[in-house]
Structure 1
């Protein structure tokens, strides 16, 4: 038996795989990337050498106020490292500038105070002015343009009226935007609900270019770029992370050019390739991304690439926060089967997109061709089963169930961190 430790919640889960069945283990170069620099040094060096932009210090000079956009509780951005560095540099250059920190919650629920302390540290939460974006609150939004796709661009009023707007975040493969980071801090990060839904419409989600690692001719990405430029996102600090969520790369400067450099880095170190298997095992990289089924769909798309039709995807994710979206859950659970749901969604026009539609569309696409088993001891099994998936409390039971479905000789591919891998077929 081959033994592996894969990410699960805030730790790891040990799994055993029969040698005769194990076909491939796909680990990106980022997992074992070594650097001689401390995380803080990597960030400082990036800020000392901005890409396509004036330095942060030059940008803040003479400004009375500014807004820093940061990620919410669902993203493993190491803000305890990055935010203090940003704040220190800004205040050294302009001690009297008024700084507001805006949490890019997108369409997610608001970040709690406890989650803020966990993410930013108690000192920042106590001393800084932090606002959580609410995409459904029209009074907090301002229309600033029309997206290339035709949807109205509504963004947070604080950001729209900011004298200087910058953002911090991280870059990883994204299952329909190509990559996270950069322009995503605006759309969907601080955009209005109707703007998010127009951008995440079924037509775009169904586009073959709206996939992991793809930016060229990706209609979702093109809308996001327009939103960032229209919002005047002047500067970004984005990092790349290893399997332990440690910083291995940082990219600062122009919101498009610096992001492109970061995407090049991620493409180089996060790419893996394999051939189709009967069983594909994957994860969502542990907490915070594995905290609900909604987010776990991202890791499932990695398994989707290499799972044969009617094969099994074993998704190891705590889902400690349940389904992660009421509309997401209700649409999937109320459908007769995934095929019915997928056919219905594909008929929905751009302007009639409903909350969480993009997520249940992708899940339905996966479930229409593959069986999914979620391994967790932290989620109500009924939620999982209601959503046309199988539940296993531990990995051993999941593997037994998978062999029942595909046969005892089924070949296995393991992708230890699906959410941080750009998976391609050989």
Structure 2
């Protein structure tokens, strides 16, 4: 027997498997990488050797209105490490700068005060001006152009009117943008509902290049980078983190050049080869990424790439925040034919994209390939609405899987963190 630890919420769940049935355990090599420096040292060194850009201190000179885009509660960005250093550098360059931290919620719910305290620490929350982006509030939005795809480019007014716009974030594989980080701080981070919907349209989500780890020719990425340039995103600080959410690598500078260097580092560590299996067990990396079903679709895409057609995906995601999107849930309530759902989204004009359509489209694609058994704290009825099968624990899930496959010797692949790998 082999014992494997799987993240679930803020805990770990142990899995014991017969090695004779285990095809592979797909993990990135991030856990084997030890930088030999503290998290703060890594961030400071990156900022001192910024890529294709002056340093943040130099950029801040003469800039009165400075906006720092920061990630929201759904992203495990170690902002308590990054933000104090960024604030210090800005104020060294311009002690009188008026700084606003703009929370890039994109299309997510607003970040709470408690979540802000967890993210930044109480001192920063108490002393700095923090604004949470509202993608559907016309009073805080302004149009700044048109995307290459033809959609309107509308972003948060604070970001658009900043004398200096910068951001913090982290780089990980992303299931349709290729990688997170860099340009994503603007789109979808501080973009309007209209802009996000245009960029996340069915045509783009179905595009063969809109996949994990793919940037070249990815229409979603092309729009995002364009938006960052038009918004004048001048400087980014992006990090790569391990399973303990600790910084192991950092880049800073131009939003594209720094991101390229960061994703090249990450790509070398997280590409893994799939051995197709009957059953694939995966997670969404634990808290905060597994707070809802919406986010958990990301981890499922890693399993999608490793499961045999007609096989079973066992997904562990705490989902204490429920479904994560009302329209996402209603889409599955109203349309039971998955193929019809997928085709409707692919053929819908970009200006008729509905909220959360992309997540429903990808989940439908996964469900058309494999049965999904979902372990969570979400209501069982809710899980069934998404055409997934609820299970209380891994033991029950494996029994259900074998019963479904009618095979007690079904082969198994385990992906302990489905959002940390690029499965090929």
Residue 93 of structure 1, CA deviation: 2.2
- In structure 1, the partner of 2:387 is 388
Query: Is the Cα contact below 8 Å between 1:166 and 1:236 reproduced in 2?
Result: yes
Answer whether contact 1:338 1:388 (CA < 8 A) is retained: no
Query: What is aligned with 1:341?
Result: 341
Q: Which stretches of structure 1, 4 residues or longer, exceed 6 Å deviation after superposition?
A: none
Q: 1:235-274 residue pairs with structure 2 within 5 A?
A: 235-274=235-274
Inter-partner Cα distance in structure 2 for 1:46 and 1:347: 44
> Structure 1, residues 42-92: CA drift from partner, whole Å, max 9, x if none?
001001100000011100011112000000000000001100111112112
| Contact persistence 1:312–1:402 (CA under 8 A) | yes
After TM superposition, give the deviation of residue 139 of structure 1 in Å. Answer: 1.4
Moved more, 109-118 or 399-408: 399-408
RMSD of Structure 2 on Structure 1 (CA): 0.8
Which residue pairs with 1:78 in the alignment?
78
267-276 vs 332-341, greater mean Cα deviation: 332-341
Question: Would you say 1:358 and 2:368 are equivalent positions?
Answer: no
Equivalence for 1:401 = 400
CA deviation digits over 1:307-356, x for unaligned, max 9?
A: 11111011111011000000001101222232232122222111100000
- TM-score (normalizing by structure 2): 0.99
Match of 1:299 in 2: 299
TM-score (norm 1): 0.98
* Structure-2 residue corresponding to 1:379: 378
SS at match of 1:20: helix
CA contact (8 A) 2:23 2:275 kept: no
- Following the alignment from structure 2 to structure 1, what is the Cα–Cα distance between the partners of residues 17 and 234? 49
Question: 3-state DSSP class of the match of 2:70?
Answer: strand
Separation in 1, partners of 2:273, 2:75: 25
Q: Aligned partners of 1:405, 1:189: CA distance in 2, in Å?
A: 40
Q: Deviations over 1:20-40 (max 9, x none)?
A: 211101111112221210111
SS of the aligned residue for 2:332 comes to: helix
After the TM superposition, which residues 48-127 of structure 1 pair with which residues of structure 2 at under 5 Å, given as runs? 48-127=48-127
Whole-angstrom CA distance in 2 between matches of 1:320 and 1:334: 24
Q: Distance in 2 between matches of 1:22 and 1:226?
A: 44
Structure 1 residues without counterparts, runs of 5 or longer: none
| C-alpha distance after superposition, 1:96-152 (max 9, x if no partner) | 111000000000010010111111111111111000000011111110000000001
Q: Distance in 1 between matches of 2:75 and 2:286?
A: 11
CA deviation after TM superposition for structure 1 residue 365, in Å: 0.5
Aligned partners of 1:32 and 1:242 also within 8 Å: no
- Secondary structure (helix, strand or coil) at the match of 1:176 reads coil
Tell me by how many angstroms 1:248 deviates: 0.6
Distance 1:107 1:200 in 2: 11
**Structure 1 match to 2:211:** 211
- Give the distance between the partners of 2:172 and 2:207, measured in 1 at CA: 20
- For residues 42 and 34 of structure 1, what CA distance do their matches in structure 2 show? 12
Work out the CA distance in 2 between the residues paired with 1:352 and 1:148.
17
Query: Which SS does the other structure have where 2:305 is aligned?
Result: helix
- Name the counterpart of 2:22: 22
Contact kept, 8 Å, 2:59 with 2:93, in 1: the verdict is no
In structure 1, distance between residues paired with 2:380 and 2:249: 39
Uncovered stretches (5+) of structure 2, i.e. residues with no partner: none
What is the CA distance between 1:379 and its match in structure 2? 1.3
Q: Is the partner of 1:368 in helix, strand or coil? A: helix
Partner of 2:311: 311
> How big is each residue's C-alpha offset from its partner over 1:160-207, in whole Å with a ceiling of 9 and x where there is no partner?
000000000000000000000000000000001010000000000000
Cα distance in 2 for residues equivalent to 1:163 and 1:103: 18
Structure 2 SS opposite 1:278? strand
CA contact (8 A) 1:100 1:131 kept: yes
Distance 1:309 1:31 in 2: 31
Structure 1, 332-341 or 273-282: larger mean CA deviation: 332-341
Contact 2:314 2:373 in 1 (8 A): yes
